[in-house]
């Protein structure tokens, strides 16, 4: 009998474990979630009315572009190059030149002598290039790098909404992306 008394608590636990437990509530729903409460847009740099749909967007994927308005302008592809010309005076050209990618950037304000780096930022990555100023047009900075660099295919050529361009230590400029960029990069490889 003492042995039966010692086993009684174990038997009760076994019976309790066999009881049907309530099913856990699912934490998901097929109904769309309520949108978050609107917040004020961040302060834009430059023209506050410039940006996609006339709104300066915060880009959390590219912190350098938080609060930066996207330049308005158009992309044009000609042969082995594609060029963006913005209404604010900014221009960006990406060209294939004998297996190299050539990057030409004209900021709204002429570059200073000390600004010798050009950084391209995308939602998939960033790359810093050594920049030069051609004697023929000192308002432009250029960078050249092999088209085999994975950054071109994986980050710049894969699309996205915006490209950030940083000259030296200046604030970033946001330029809308375009499918022609990927076309040029693929053709150059």
- Compute φ and ψ for 60, nearest 5 degrees: -75, -20
Identify any residues that bridge with 132 across adjacent strands, giving them in sequence order: 142
Ordered DSSP codes for 27-86: S--SSPPPPPPP-PPPPPBS-TT-SGGG-----TTSGGGTTBPBPPEEEEEETTEEEEEE
Q: Could you tell me which of 122, 111, 126 has the C-alpha nearest to residue 168? A: 111
The predicted structure's pLDDT at residue 9: 54
pLDDT digits (tens, 9 = 90+) for 13-53: 455 555 554 544 434 333 444 444 443 333 333 333 333 33
Q: Do 158 and 182 meet the contact criterion of CB atoms below 8 Å apart?
A: yes
pLDDT at 12 over 70: no
Indicate the pLDDT class of residue 124, thresholds 50, 70 and 90: confident
pLDDT at 51 (0 to 100): 35
> What percent of the chain has a predicted confidence (pLDDT) above 70?
68
Q: How many CA atoms lie within 13 A of 35 on its CB side?
A: 3
pLDDT of residue 14: 52
Measured between alpha carbons, how far is residue 111 from residues 114, 131, 167, 186 in Å?
8, 11, 8, 30
In which band, very low, low, confident or very high, does the pLDDT at 71 lie, cut at 50, 70 and 90? Answer: very high
pTM of the model: 0.66
Whole-number pLDDT of residue 116: 86
Q: What is the mean pLDDT of the chain?
A: 75
Structure confidence at residue 54 as a pLDDT band (50, 70, 90): very low
* Res 1: pLDDT: 53
Distances, alpha carbon 1 to alpha carbons 4, 164, 177, in Å: 5, 82, 83
7-11, 111-115, 177-181: which has the minimum mean pLDDT?
Answer: 7-11
Higher pLDDT pick, 156 / 61: 156
Other Cβ atoms closer than 10 A to 90: 21
DSSP 53: G
Segment 105-116 shows an average pLDDT of: 83
Q: For 73, how many CA atoms within 13 A lie in the half-sphere containing its CB? A: 24
State both tokens at 94: 């990406």
């Amino acid at each position: 009998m003492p042995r039966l008394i010692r086993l009684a608590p174990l038997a009760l636990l076994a019976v309790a474990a066999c009881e049907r437990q309530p099913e856990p509530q699912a934490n998901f729903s097929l109904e769309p979630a309520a949108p978050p409460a609107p917040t004020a847009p961040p302060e834009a740099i430059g023209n506050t009315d410039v940006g996609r749909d006339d709104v300066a967007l915060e880009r959390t994927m590219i912190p350098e572009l938080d609060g930066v308005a996207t330049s308005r302008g158009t992309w044009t592809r000609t042969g082995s190059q594609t060029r963006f010309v913005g209404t604010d005076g900014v221009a960006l050209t990406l060209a294939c030149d004998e297996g190299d990618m050539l990057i030409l950037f004209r900021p709204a304000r002429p570059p200073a002598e000390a600004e010798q780096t050009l950084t391209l930022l995308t939602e998939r990555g960033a790359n810093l290039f050594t920049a030069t100023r051609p004697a023929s047009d000192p308002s432009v900075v250029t960078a050249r790098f092999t088209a085999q660099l994975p950054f071109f295919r994986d980050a710049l050529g894969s699309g996205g909404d915006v490209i950030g361009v940083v000259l030296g230590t200046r604030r970033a400029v946001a330029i809308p992306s375009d499918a022609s960029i990927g076309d040029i990069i693929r053709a150059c490889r």
